[in-house]
Structure 1
């Protein structure tokens, strides 16, 4: 299995996700879940086959991490739909996943078997996978926040903003776990848990930003619109932490996290 097969798996997976989204709007919950799950199984199969082909976790390049993000977004949408029955979440998560899939099709990264020594660690795969799942959950919260602010516009329905809260709780919990596994990995690979590398600095900024959202929601229930803007700002910080850092001059040649640009 090589990267040339990605487009075929992606098209079929997206087709299943679109059908699942349509079924959700038709109030056919069982069919919506089934088609979305089929798309996830198909997309996940490609990831597993690519893993075997590369003889390493497909987590090194930006394209490979986008692959996981494209998988976890519909997964997060499915979990949210099953738990809270918001039928629009499947459509929104599918659209966002399609964006990242298209980026991977138009701008594929280098996918080879090479893996630098620092990445040959048992912490590598769990750290990145946990982070990608956290990013997907927080992406779903951003989708929900944007929906409330600019599409629905009414914040009187407490259930939907509580949906944002729950997604952030899960996403931030996994982000925290990802930071902890990253610290253990850094100690093993470089001899220290934290070095305020540009990537680590932005990770801290992102973490505190989402924590601010939680504190605002707990302490000031009536500031819903302000809290949602903070949520969207936090998502911007998350994008900076994930891939924007690679374009900062301060990270070029000095950051220990720029290996994924190779």
Structure 2
């Protein structure tokens, strides 16, 4: 499997996800929703697995490879959310956002590196990245919902709509916490310590605290919906800094052990 085959698998997956999203708006076709979405996920994962085998390492080092996982986990998070809460729009959102990341990977792949440095050969590295990407997908959905409620919807947000944001953040933060635990175990094995306040780790802690503050704010100030939504977007900005913004900070150049994906 090679990156030259990626557009074929990606387009086939997007077609399936598109049909799944379309059927989600039709009340009497839940079986079609699951069938098309799962076939799309299986097709996309087949490419990831094939690439994994051909590279002889998990495809998680370069930015292009991490976007590959994000493109996969968005529809997965979408179908799980749809299954649990039956939000019709969630599959449309996940498909469109996955399309964006797939297009970036096609036109600006950033996939050049085939080697895996020693620090990334730990068995904790793969679960750390996979769990984090799933958390990012859920928290990304919460951020899009916040944008919709703040600036697109003409009426004030309802409590049931805020419950969607709360549910996504609760589950997303849970997976983020698990990902941080895996990351600490990886760091211990690779560098001899669980946490060193590396620039990446500092932004990860800031992101985790930010979402925790959102949860506590919603518990005690449920009536202040607009403030909560703005806070949710601030948290998402912190998440972007933690994910890839750290690579462009002068303070991290030559210091952070997490800037390897630019090599």
What is the TM-score of this pair, normalised by structure 2?
Answer: 0.96
Give yes or no for the alignment of 1:26 onto 2:32.
no
- Alignment partners' CA distance in 2, 1:49 and 1:112: 17
Match of 2:122, SS?
A: coil
Aligned to 1:8: 8
Task: Within 5 Å, give how 1:124-163 maps onto structure 2.
Answer: 124-163=125-164
In the alignment, which residue of structure 1 is the partner of 2:238? 237
Spell out, residue by residue over 1:163-202, the C-alpha distance to the aligned partner (whole angstroms, 9 max, x if none).
1111111110111111111111111111111111111111
Which residue is equivalent to 2:220?
Answer: 219
- Comparing 38-47 and 17-26, the one that deviates more: 17-26
The residue that corresponds to 1:60 in the other structure is 61
Residue aligned with 1:154, SS? coil
Is the contact made by 1:93 and 1:143 (CA closer than 8 Å) also made in structure 2? no
Q: By how many angstroms is 1:157 displaced?
A: 2.8
Matches within 5 A, 1:129-208: 129-208=130-209
Question: Are the counterparts in 1 of residues 52 and 58 from structure 2 also a CA contact under 8 Å?
Answer: yes
Task: Note if contact 2:65-2:111 (Cα within 8 Å) is conserved in structure 1.
Answer: no
Q: Is the 8 A contact 1:54 1:112 kept in 2?
A: no
| 1:77 alignment partner in structure 2 | 78
SS in 2 for 1:59: coil
8 Å CA contact retained: 2:157, 2:225: no
Note the C-alpha offset of 1:37: 1.4
Gaps of 5+ in 2: none
- 2:249 and 2:239 map into 1 onto residues whose CA distance is 15
Q: Distance in 2 between matches of 1:153 and 1:123?
A: 46
Q: Gaps (5+ residues) in structure 1? A: none
CA-to-aligned-CA distance 1:21-58 (integer Å, 9 cap, x gap): 11112332221222111111111111111111111000
How many Å separate the matches in 2 of 1:21 and 1:91?
A: 5
**2:119 alignment partner, SS class:** helix
With normalisation by structure 1, the TM-score equals: 0.96
Shift of 1:153: 4.1
